[in-house]
């Protein structure tokens, strides 16, 4: 298994995005996540997009993008998780947890101080993963902040001794196991 950075518009990323959108549409009986995303949002040092591969097949994805104080409720220093997804047949193997840890480390190295995310009540496995990784509920923010089914969570990326000004470690995110 290998986790490596790819552009958000990489063909494998686009394919997995189609799958996650289909799943969102089925779970929420709507058109999926309509949050506007641009490939440039995931370019270091302002973001990172990762794919997990096994035998050349993309199995999981996730990214982070820079957010700062704005009318949608973000705060200066925020990094926002987007498009965390694992294909059905690869779930339960810890891929999402590994991608999440890599995204947190990269955002921290890029000087971000808090990781935030939006998910929903119809994604109980996502809520459980994030809670088990130290994320806590926060005041709603983002595009879906007015939706009853939306849940927002955050986790501090600052620990004692951190150097928030360290350069991004994006180039080092090629991991194999």
Domain-located, residue 103: yes
CATH code for position 76: 3.40.630.30
Domain-located, residue 127: no
Domain-located, residue 174: no
DSSP the chain: -EEEE--TTSHHHHHHHHHHHHHHHHHHTSS-------GGGGSTTSEEEEEEEETTEEEEEEEEEEE-S-TTS--TTEEEEEEEEE-GGGTTSSHHHHHHHHHHHHHHHTT--EEEEEEETT-HHHHHHHHHTT-EE----STTTT-TTEEEEEEE---TT--TTPPP-GGG--EE-
Tens-digit pLDDT profile for residues 140-154: 888 777 778 899 999
Domain membership of residue 91 as a residue range: 2-116
How many domains, the chain? 1
Full-model pTM: 0.88
Tens-digit pLDDT profile for residues 18-72: 999 999 999 988 887 788 899 999 999 999 999 999 999 999 999 999 998 887 8
Domain-located, residue 20: yes
Please return the burial class of 96, using the count of CB atoms within 10 Å of its CB with bins 0-12, 13-18 and 19+: buried
Domain-located, residue 165: no
For 80, left (φ over 0), alpha (ψ -120 to 50), or beta? Answer: beta
């Amino acid at each position: 298994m290998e986790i490596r950075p790819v552009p958000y518009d990489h063909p494998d990323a686009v394919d997995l995005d189609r799958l996650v959108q289909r799943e969102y549409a089925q779970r929420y009986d709507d058109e999926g996540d309509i949050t506007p995303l641009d490939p440039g949002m995931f370019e270091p040092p302002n973001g990172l997009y990762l794919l997990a591969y096994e035998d050349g097949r993309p199995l999981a994805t996730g990214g982070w993008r820079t957010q700062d104080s704005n009318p949608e409720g973000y705060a200066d220093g925020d990094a926002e998780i987007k498009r965390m997804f694992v294909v059905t047949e690869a779930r339960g193997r810890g891929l999402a947890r590994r991608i999440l840890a890599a995204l947190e480390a990269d955002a921290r190295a890029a000087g971000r101080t808090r990781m935030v995310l939006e998910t929903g009540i119809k994604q109980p496995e996502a809520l459980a993963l994030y809670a088990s990784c130290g994320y806590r509920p926060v005041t709603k923010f983002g595009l879906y902040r007015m939706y009853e089914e939306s849940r927002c969570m955050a986790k501090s990326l600052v620990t004692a001794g951190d150097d928030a000004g360290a350069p991004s470690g994006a180039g080092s995110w090629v991991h194999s196991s």
